[in-house]
Amino acid sequence: MADKKPEQAPSETLRVDGRRLAPLFPEAMKGLGEKEGYLQNLELVWTRGKNHPVWESVNAEEVVALEGEVVDAEERAQVRNFYARVALDFGVHEKSPAQSLIGGRTGGASAANWSKLSLSQLRQRCLRAVFHEYAHALQQWRIGAKQSPNAWGLSKAEQDYTSTLAAYQRAFAAQGKSAQEAYMATPAEVDARKLADEALVRVSGELEGGKWDFLLPAKLIEAYTAGK
């Protein structure tokens, strides 16, 4: 008898006008040049765990530790529009201390008690994940995202990221350092962490009022705080 497949992770999809985030990233926005005036459509797919189709394109070796990933970024020049689809795993916030070695997009590996956070802590950590991935979307749009949903192969930005990461991993391996250390040191990751931290500082006085809750998965947070 075949093993029963695990249920698909609960999810919540939010469609957001990225221009609401743009003022938090002034220098990165300037990097878009004449395209700074484009519309920005963000699709934030929050999941509670990784067993969801939105994560299928992410490298299997990396996916476990990630809080977020830009899984699609496009430039629709004919209609002056940017698009990004972002996978965000709310489930990492529920892991026990022994399981919570969080690496990937939002910071270096660190043991933290993610088993029960206050609403204030959830807001801050979830928003930081969103800001980090938005920073990556800006990077892709600036360097060269896909020009259509059906574009074949890697975009210019994806090629740049992949080749840079490989070069850093070779250099770090020669020094006896890990692939994770190389990953965290790449310019794209350093820049995204910096931009996310700066954005979080800019909104710090507005968190408790819920001004930025439109970026958060309300139903998943409600289930979490209720202990479900």
Angle at 46 between CA 199 and CA 107, to 5 degrees: 45
109-168, pLDDT tens digit by residue?
444 444 567 888 888 999 999 999 999 999 999 999 998 777 778 899 999 999 999 999
Single pTM value for the model: 0.88
Helices marked H in 106-213: 119-143, 156-174, 179-185, 187-203
82-114, pLDDT tens digit by residue?
999 999 999 886 654 444 433 444 444 444 444
**Whole-angstrom Cα distance, residue 111 to residue 182?**
20
AA letter at 194: K
Question: In the structure encoding, which two tokens stand for residue 39, read together?
Answer: 């519309």
